Amino acid sequence: MKFIFKLFFVFQLITGFSHANEVKVFDFTETELSQLEVRKVRGADNKTIYTVGSNENGNFLKAVADNAASGLGKEVKIDLNKTPFINITWKIEKGLPGIKENTKKGHDFAARVFVVKKTGATLLSNRAINYVFSSNIDVGLNWPSPYTKKSIDNVLATTKDNLNKWITVKANVKEDFKKFHNLNLDELDGLAIMSDTDNSKMKSVAYYQNIYFSEK
């Protein structure tokens, strides 16, 4: 997946909704989706298809990537001293078994959520953590992206245990930036969602729901 930091151009200047000690990033409504540009990654044959729906737990985003790669992002300021934890509810209906996700040829994920910090004047100077729902690698493992050491892939869920099941995961973003990038951050600058299969040429189906930051 050849985006490096090309995804972060997708950011629209839209603030997250905040109440108490939680900051909700996405609403997953038709209105919101129409405001977010779906940008195809350079070199990809197709765009990932994003649609919204709802269930008993609220709105969700469905992502179908068929030999495709494109993402959705928001430029949203997150105070990591107040709300350092990202919470993600997601599901993989169709994963990507057999690929080597930590290589360039296999660097595809049915679901991933990036958190981004701007650390310089250019896109390539940004630092990111890529929280992934892996199809092949165990939870807790991590590695630098095969395309740039400035982005770290960190596995929060795997289809080996949770195929076609809604699950909620949590990570301490402030601690992870210190661990992976040796940065003491007070604030995040953005967040992005992407489902991509442009390297493997396979098809994935994933769902995202209720992405927010919390105090604990």
What is the identity of the amino acid at 125? S
Asked, for residue 31, whether it belongs to a domain, the answer is yes
SS (H, E, C) the chain: CCCCCHHHHHCEECCCEEECCEEECCCCCHHHHHHCCCEECCCCCECCEEEEEEECCEEEEEEEEECEEEEEEEEEEEECCCCCEEEEEEEEEECCCCCCCCCCCCCCEEEEEEEEECCCCCHHHCEEEEEEEECCCCCCCEEECCCCCCEEEEEEEEHHHHECCCEEEEEEHHHHHHHHHCCCCCEEEEEEEEEECCCCCCEEEEEEEEEEEECC
Q: What is the pLDDT of residues 119-170, one digit of tens each?
A: 876 556 689 999 999 999 999 999 999 999 999 999 999 999 999 999 999 9
Asked, for residue 92, whether it belongs to a domain, the answer is yes
Task: Work out the number of other CB atoms within 10 angstroms of the CB of residue 150.
Answer: 17
Asked, for residue 1, whether it belongs to a domain, the answer is no
> What pLDDT is recorded for position 43?
78
CATH (domain of 181): 2.60.120
> What pLDDT is recorded for position 21?
86
**Domain span holding position 57:** 6-214
Q: How many domains does the chain have?
A: 1
What is the pTM for the complete model shown? Answer: 0.90
Asked, for residue 10, whether it belongs to a domain, the answer is yes
CA-based nearest residue to 77, from 209, 210, 208, 186? 186
Percentage of the chain beyond pLDDT 90 is 78
Tokens matching residue 133: 């729902």
Region 71-83: mean pLDDT is 93
Q: What is the pLDDT of residues 97-110, one digit of tens each?
A: 999 999 999 999 99
> What pLDDT is recorded for position 210?
94
Asked, for residue 163, whether it belongs to a domain, the answer is yes
Cα–Cα distances in angstroms (integers) from residue 24 to residues 63, 83, 212, in the given order = 20, 11, 4
Region 86-93: mean pLDDT is 98
Report CA 35 to chain centroid distance, whole Å: 18
Asked, for residue 128, whether it belongs to a domain, the answer is yes
Asked, for residue 170, whether it belongs to a domain, the answer is yes
CA-based nearest residue to 1, from 175, 132, 90, 163? 132
C-alpha to C-alpha distance for 145 and 116, rounded to whole angstroms: 14
